[in-house]
Amino acid sequence: MLDRHSTAASKLTEIVSAIAEQRSTPAKEIEAARRRIAESDGEVGAFLRLAPDESLQAAAASDGPLAGITIGVKDIYDTRDMATEHGSQIYRGHRPVADASLVSMARLAGAAILGKTTTTEFASLDPTPTRNPRNLAHTPGGSSSGSAAAVAAGMVPLAFGSQTGGSVIRPASFCGVAGFKPSFRLFPSVGMKTFSFTLDTAGLFAATAEDLALAARLITGRDFGAGRRADGRGLRVGFYKSAVDDEVEADMQAAVAEAATLLERSGATTVTVEEPASLTAARSCHATIQSFEAVMALSDEFRRHRQRLGADLGAILDHGATIEPAEYDEARRTARIGRKAASALFETVDVLIAPSALGPAPRGLASTGDALMNKLWTLTGNPVVNVPGLASSVGLPLGVSVIARFGRDALALDVASLLQAMIAAPENAGS
């Protein structure tokens, strides 16, 4: 049996209730978030800058459904009241004219955009100085490093990230928070700095899957379900066995096995789902698509400022520039076949479970870890939710991914919510 990790995360659903029932006010919540940041961000380093007072005063006066919810926004999202630097020297001090779509939509729902969080350079690989709040000697993961860390440390109940490879689900796993990568383009990515236009996906971090579902609904106006499933009866869960599972560490393998056991205990049936060859092929073409598109997306930055780019990003772009259009086109065809194969998986199961990362957060800040467990689902566009709660013997979080069919985001959140509750239930903790 695996350990559980403790959580400092602030629950969005509880804050929304407290404000609805007048046990709190938006102003109090905003002030509390600022205080938490002042107290703990010195050692974590999740935030780059905080919103000006006038923005927060305006948010405090809101009576929208997300009033009082403070949000940390990855610094590749445009914000009209704060600099947006994309983790790059090239954009030092850059001030956009308008908010990114998701930022604007959150403000419209009453949320307070509290500040900008760290990102690896252009949401790629070069690490930030951000530390993992669960253990400061470890990376929080990336590229949405600051957003995952800010939620894990309880500074804010909600944060925005983005995923091109594994930039939401991996840091959520490392930091022990719930993370949501929606179906491709279900959330608008307008006003997010582009890295790869067929892969970049906006995503969210919160304490729980239930929090993610509520936030997603209130920002977009869509029904995202979640939290209404009392048990797992009737649910068919596939235990996904990929061709790269040999790379997964033993404690992470144990975490997914425990998730399967807990879902069975809740009444679900589980079966093993072997990865078809078409999805193994799709995973291995991710890098070609990503790098070829990044060379176009960052054309001006790459061609004029090569020497100002980090080592990892520079290497990706140098390689991308050698890829021929025919090789990219072939990779896109492989990806299309993979998308169909991914849909076919869900003819026999409702959701899949799989590791959210190869293991717990690696020690040190020199690398943000590996996206191998995530990039297939980014490529296919399926919704993925990271479920936190399980931990290694030294207390480092081990996240489990719940993956659903394209467009069935509500189901992924719903099952994730059930699994998170099963993990947290005292009667399951010591068994």
Q: Is 167 one of the annotated active-site residues of the chain?
A: yes
The dihedral formed by the CA atoms of 407, 411, 417 and 419, expressed in degrees to the nearest 10 = -110
Q: Near a second copy by CB under 8 A, which window of 63-71, 188-196, 348-356, 369-377?
A: 188-196
Neighbours of 297 (CB within 10 A): 20
189 binds a second copy (CB under 8 A): yes
CA gap 287, 419 in Å, rounded = 32
Residue ranges in 63-102 that form contacts with a second copy under rule CB under 8 A: 80, 90-91, 94, 97-99, 101
What is the DSSP pairing of strand 400-404 with strand 384-387? Answer: antiparallel
Q: In angstroms, how far is CA 186 from the centroid of its own chain?
A: 15
Q: Near a second copy by CB under 8 A, which window of 17-25, 103-111, 170-178, 414-422?
A: 103-111
CA gap 367, 234 in Å, rounded = 41
201 binds a second copy (CB under 8 A): no
CA gap 355, 284 in Å, rounded = 18
What interhelical angle do 209-220 and 101-108 show, nearest 10? 90
CA gap 431, 414 in Å, rounded = 24
344 binds a second copy (CB under 8 A): no
Binding mask 275-294 for a second copy (x = CB under 8 A): ------------------x-
Catalytic residue among 55, 167, 356, 417: 167
With contacts defined by CB under 8 A, how many residues of the chain interact with a second copy?
35
Residue ranges in 6-25 that form contacts with a second copy under rule CB under 8 A: none
Asked if residue 44 lies in contact with residue 8, where contact means CB atoms within 8 angstroms, the answer is: no
The dihedral formed by the CA atoms of 34, 171, 12 and 380, expressed in degrees to the nearest 10 = 140
Residue ranges in 216-255 that form contacts with a second copy under rule CB under 8 A: 220-223
Residue 143 main-chain phi, psi, to 5 deg? -85, -15
Q: Near a second copy by CB under 8 A, which window of 14-22, 141-149, 321-329, 417-425?
A: 321-329
Q: Which is nearer to a second copy, 35 or 333 (CB)?
A: 333
Residue ranges in 296-315 that form contacts with a second copy under rule CB under 8 A: 296-297, 299-301, 303
* Residue ranges in contact with a second copy by CB under 8 A: 80, 90-91, 94, 97-99, 101, 103-105, 108, 185, 188-191, 194, 197-198, 220-223, 293, 296-297, 299-301, 303, 324-325, 329, 407
Q: Which residues are catalytic?
A: 74, 143, 167
